[in-house]
Amino acid sequence: MAGDFRGPPPPGGRPPQGAPPPRGGRPARPGSPGWTNQPRNPLPGHGGRPLPPPSPPQQQPGGRGPLRKPPPGRGAGAPPPTRAAAPSRGPAVPRPAAGAAGPSVHPASQAPRDGRITRGPTMPDWRRARGALGGGRWKAVLVLLLVAVVGFGVYLDQNMTRVQALPADSQASSSGTNYLIVGSDSREGLSAEDEERLATGDAAGQRTDTIMLLHTGSSGSVLVSIPRDSYLPIPGKGSNKVNAAFAFGGPELLVETVENATGLRIDHYVEVGFGGFVGAVDAVGGVDMCVPDSIDDPKAGLDIQAGCQELDGSTALGYVRTRATPGSDFDRVKRQREFLSALLGKATSPLTLINPFRMVPLASAVTGTITVDDSDHIWNLAGLAWGMKGVSGGDGVQTTVPIGGSAGGSNLRWDRSRAQQMFGALQNDEAPPRSSFGP
């Protein structure tokens, strides 16, 4: 190009010292007049020395070629290419309208060239939809299960036998909650074969083989056995054995007799006959008990060896009824407390509650032969089971009314001083002192 220099270049290819710079302040382009082949400018810090040429690629052992091939377009000695500057942001390339005639174009070529990130059409998230359907299905199952449990509870509550057991004019008062548990010798619902198999006999009428008082409250659970031969005043009937009150006036007279003797207000009444007891034991699959001594009692239909074993319904009934041991009735009430605690402990265990093949027969057997006060409901039985679980867990107290001697024949007279200590503490919802424990 003419006019880049003010004169012809001097011989030797180098401009004279002090020559004016080319126009525009830029060096001459290669191939233009005045351009000379000058060495590359050295980098700072290298003492003015030019950079050495790149080393040739290393060879693999055995002469099998370079370890890494150079990318296409680059030789062994070619300098690395410089990164091109990003193009300036400009208007997006318009996409052709749908259905427009023309050659087919790949969708990727229609992406904007200005660096923007776009999101194309996405497939439906089947995993999220499947999770939503699964969560909805489980919610529906839980709702149906809850409805079934509530419905079954209502059915059981409506099928319980109710009687007027709690006196309407009771003057007793106490803190906490008191349950009177009665095991009657009622043979209702038993066939002649069942009476023979269970050795219950065919006696008419109704008496009580078991009388227990369960107190629950802030002091814990306290289970007290009342021997059926306890000689107590019976309202309107003079003094007699406590089980005679049940024979004279049924549950209501028995509750009134116990309230007068203990000073405690009875809040709930629960009565279980022979059939319900056997059905409950068989429904939970038997109860494990450790029998201290062998017992052979034909009257109770019991022949059992000493040792830890599982008792079925008929064996358990004979075990809690027999008196064929040295302690007679005192041994019997102790066995009754221990067995009832073990039975209710197993009935309320998670393995029973979540097993419908055990829970449904258990609930049906208990509610089919159980008798409660006309103000009691299924949740009151749940409170009873919870209180008995506290006794069987070792935190509660199991004892017998303190006995002071005989009142003639087989009649038992209470130790009034110690009995007042025990029931006075329960009236105030306090733990009774150990000195008041019987017999």
For 118-171, write each residue's pLDDT tens digit. Answer: 555 555 555 555 555 555 777 887 888 788 777 777 877 777 888 899 988 888
Q: Does pLDDT of 408 surpass 60?
A: yes
pLDDT band (50, 70, 90) for residue 1: very low
Which region holds residue 238: left if phi is over 0, alpha if psi is between -120 and 50, else beta? left
The tens digit of pLDDT for each residue in 73-119 reads 555 555 555 555 555 555 555 555 555 555 555 555 555 555 555 55
Q: Per-residue pLDDT for 47 more than 90?
A: no
Residue in the structure block whose two tokens are 């038997």: 286
The Cα–Cα gap between 400 and 42 comes to 110
Q: Choose between 285 and 95: higher pLDDT.
A: 285
Q: What are the helix (H) ranges across 272-377?
A: 274-283, 313-321, 329-347, 350-353, 356-369
Query: Token match 């009388």: residue?
Result: 211
Average pLDDT score over residue span 372-380: 88
165: closest CA among 371, 379, 369?
A: 371
CA distance 277 to 283: 10
Which among 212, 203, 225, 185 is positioned nearest to 317, based on CA atoms? 185
Q: What is the pLDDT of residue 263?
A: 92
Q: Is the peptide bond before 439 cis (omega within 30 degrees of 0)?
A: yes
Q: What is the pLDDT of residue 363?
A: 75
Q: Which residue has the higher pLDDT, 54 or 428?
A: 428
| Cβ atoms of residues 310 and 286 within 8 Å | yes
Q: d(Cα 317, Cα 297) in Å, to the nearest integer?
A: 12
> Do residues 278 and 198 lie in contact, with contact meaning Cβ atoms separated by under 8 Å?
yes
How far separated are the first and last CA of the chain, in Å rounded? 132
pLDDT attached to residue 110? 57
Nearest-angstrom CA–CA distance, 437 and 439: 7
Question: Which residue has better confidence, 291 or 14?
Answer: 291
Tell me if the pTM is above 0.75.
Answer: no
